[in-house]
Amino acid sequence: MSQPEQQSFLTHLECSLCGEKYDPDRLWNLCPRCGKPLLARYNLTKAKASLSPDDLVKREPTLWRYGELLPVRQKSYRLSLGEGYTPLHRAFRLEHEIGHSPIFIKDEGLNPTGSFKARGLSVAVSRAYELGARALSIPSAGNAAGAMSAYAALAGLEAHVFMPADVPRPFINECRVLGAQVTLVDGLITDCARLAREGIEKYGRFDLSTLKEPYRLEGKKTMGYELAEQLDWSLPEVIIYPTGGGTGLVGMWKAFNELEELGWIGSKRPLMVSVQSEGCAPIVRAFQEGTEFAEPWANARTIADGLRVPSAVGDFLILRAIRESQGTAVAVSDTEIMESTYLLGKTTGIWPAPEGGATLAALLRLLKDRWIKEGDSVVLFNTGNGAKYSRLWD
Ligand SMILES: *Cc1c(COP(=O)(O)O)cnc(C)c1O
């Protein structure tokens, strides 16, 4: 039975670049007019009148607690394995070790399949399922493939995943156990995308690439909702986020604007910091050069697989969010990433993904440069669980 008070307030899709509007109740990928990402829009005036933070208190501890502000219309299509509502830890020992406080860690490694990709794919697969997709396709550096495989298995949909041949073994094993068709590709995620396109065109598989459909972003925006809820409807001064395709950063930025329209937070925003690896830093370079879009990065190389994204379709949205927030973009070396991953582990008890370690490396850099001021509250996103990155720890 659908509960009327938890129905989605989704009204339409809107192109992030040209502004064209689209019917939200059919499947879309990029804007047919300009080829840029579509964004989900809601009737927030109506949502504001019927929903308040108090209504959330008794709801399930998953991202579906924000169901009115997510795109799935019927509850029976919500595919849930317990995604979202991850802990926000105060990192006291880390604070003591590096001489800055307060520092919080949002531990996304506790999501189903071990990364925050579960958020985006729980919502996107649910919505594709609701709108009639039968077979799904994704190019992935590892974590997105596992997450898509899991939700496809839950729904009984076909899953086709394309991963670089050099991803650590556990990522491949996971997809196979979850029933996906795995194709290994000699190359990077961009090469995987090229190969996936064939099956999309030939067999009508639905493409769930980052920002190439509108709803992974909706899943990931719940990190912003949660952060506000966990900080009692306030936001930190600084958010440091490891950026590949950028869905998380763009999603949180969207969430903060929606929360302000709902009247749940004020106009104050965190400084959004994007961290990338020196071996693949297209967003950092574009930020520094002041351009609207990012040039593709040649010879992308880094141990942090989730950051090995040489070209992001949402580049201008990432750059916009960083600039609007007065934030910055930082490139750190793989050596700094590894050192920070161990430092994070031994001071917090969390086994982080290297992408999570990268956020601490950026924090250390920004403290050294005095870009972050004494007393600024900082949230680091540990976006994944370190356990699957098998080779790194040998
Ligand atoms: C995908 C991924 C990232 C990058 O996330 P985006 O939102 O696409 O920028 C960071 N960390 C991990 C562990 C990932 O799997």
pLDDT digits (tens, 9 = 90+) for 4-35: 457 999 999 999 999 999 999 999 999 999 99
pLDDT at 389: 93
Which residue among 111, 313, 355 has the greatest number of ligand 1 atoms within 8 angstroms of its CB, and so is best to mutate?
Answer: 355
Report CA(73)–ligand 1 centroid distance (Å): 27
Which ligand 1 atom is at minimum distance from the Cα of 220?
7
User: Is residue 236 within 8 Å of 129, Cβ to Cβ?
Assistant: no
Q: Enter the tokens of residue 232.
A: 């009692």
Q: Is the CB of 36 under 6 A from ligand 1?
A: no
Which residue among 113, 117, 253, 313 has the greatest number of ligand 1 atoms within 8 angstroms of its CB, and so is best to mutate?
Answer: 117
Strand partners, 162: 139, 183
Closest listed residue to residue 16, CA positions, set 2, 27, 31: 31
Q: Is the CB of 314 under 6 A from ligand 1?
A: no
pLDDT at 189: 86
Closest listed residue to residue 213, CA positions, set 27, 19, 356, 381: 27
User: Is residue 213 within 8 Å of 365, Cβ to Cβ?
Assistant: no
Report CA(198)–ligand 1 centroid distance (Å): 25
pLDDT at 52 over 80: yes
pLDDT at 188: 86
Tell me the C-alpha distance between 4 and 15, whole Å: 29
Q: What is the pLDDT of residues 356-376, one digit of tens each?
A: 999 999 999 999 999 999 999
Q: How far apart are the first and last CA of the chain?
A: 51
Q: Which amino acid is at 362?
A: A
Atom 8 of ligand 1, residue of closest alpha carbon = 245
Q: Per-residue pLDDT averaged across 210-237, rounded?
A: 97
Q: Which are the contacts of 42, defined by CB distance < 8 A and separation ≥ 6?
A: 8, 9, 10, 11, 68, 69, 258
Tracing tokens 């040998």 back to the chain, one arrives at 394
Closest listed residue to residue 193, CA positions, set 138, 144, 237, 234: 138
DSSP string, 101-155: --EEEEEGGGSGGGBTHHHHHHHHHHHHHHTT--EEEEE-SSHHHHHHHHHHHHH
pLDDT at 6: 78
Q: Enter the tokens of residue 329.
A: 């973009």
Q: Is the CB of 109 under 6 A from ligand 1?
A: no
Which ligand 1 atom is at minimum distance from the Cα of 251?
7
Report CA(30)–ligand 1 centroid distance (Å): 20
pLDDT above 70 covers a percentage of the chain that reads 99
Other Cβ atoms less than 10 A from the Cβ of 172: the count is 19
213 vs 390 pLDDT, higher one: 213
Q: What is the pLDDT of residues 238-252, one digit of tens each?
A: 999 999 999 999 999
pLDDT at 280 over 70: yes
Q: Sheet with 328-332: list strands edge to edge.
A: 88-90, 103-107, 378-382, 238-242, 271-277, 328-332
Q: Is the CB of 274 under 6 A from ligand 1?
A: no
Q: What is the pLDDT of residues 290-318, one digit of tens each?
A: 999 999 999 999 999 999 999 999 999 99
Tell me the C-alpha distance between 243 and 35, whole Å: 21
pTM: 0.97
Q: Enter the tokens of residue 181.
A: 């068709």
